[in-house]
Structure 1
Amino acid sequence: MKKLSFLFLLLLSVSPVFAQGSEAVTMDDALQSNGKIYVVVSIIGIVFVGLALYLFSIDRRIKKIEKEK
C-alpha cells in the first residue's frame, strides 16, 4: 500500500512538468528587460522577512506565556 501511494505521489509531482508549453512567457521577459524584476524579487523578499519576524515574535510570546503557567 505504501508503494502504491508513493508511486501515485510521484506521478502527481511529475505531471506539472508536462503542463508547461513551449511558448515563452512574455511577462518575465518584459520585467527583466526593464529591470523591474529586481523590484519584484526584493518586495517578495521583504514580505517573507516580515512574515518570519512576525512568526518568531509570536513564538517568543507563546514561550513566555507557557513558562508563566
Structure 2
Amino acid sequence: MKKFVLFIVIQIIVLQGIAAQSGGGDFLRSVGKIYSVVAVIAVIFIGIFIFLFRLDRKLTKLENHIKNE
C-alpha cells in the first residue's frame, strides 16, 4: 500500500511539472501544426474504437456459436 501511495504522489508531482510547461502547445498553435496533432490523435482513437467494436461483435458471435452447440 505504501508503494502505491508513493507512486500516486510521484505521478501527481510529475503531472504538475508537465502542466506548468505550456510553451509547446503555444508554439504548435502559432505554427498551425496543432490541428495536425489533433487529427492524428483523433484517427488513432477512431481506429481503436472500430477495432474494439469489431472484436466485440466477433466475440459475441463466437459465444453464441458455442452456446448453440
TM over 0.5: yes
Q: Which has the higher helix share?
A: 2
Tell me the distance in 1 between the aligned counterparts of 2:16 and 2:60: 46
Q: Deviations over 1:16-64 (max 9, x none)?
A: 14655x7764x43332112220121022112111111111101110110
Counterpart check, 1:54 vs 2:40: no
Unaligned runs of 5+ in 1: none
Unaligned runs of 5+ in 2: none
TM-score, scaled relative to structure 1: 0.66
Alignment of 1:12-51 (within 5 A): 12-17=10-15, 19-20=17-18, 25=23, 27-51=24-48
TM-score, scaled relative to structure 2: 0.66
Q: 1:51 to 1:23 in 2, by over 3 A?
A: closer
Q: Tell me the matched-pair count.
A: 65
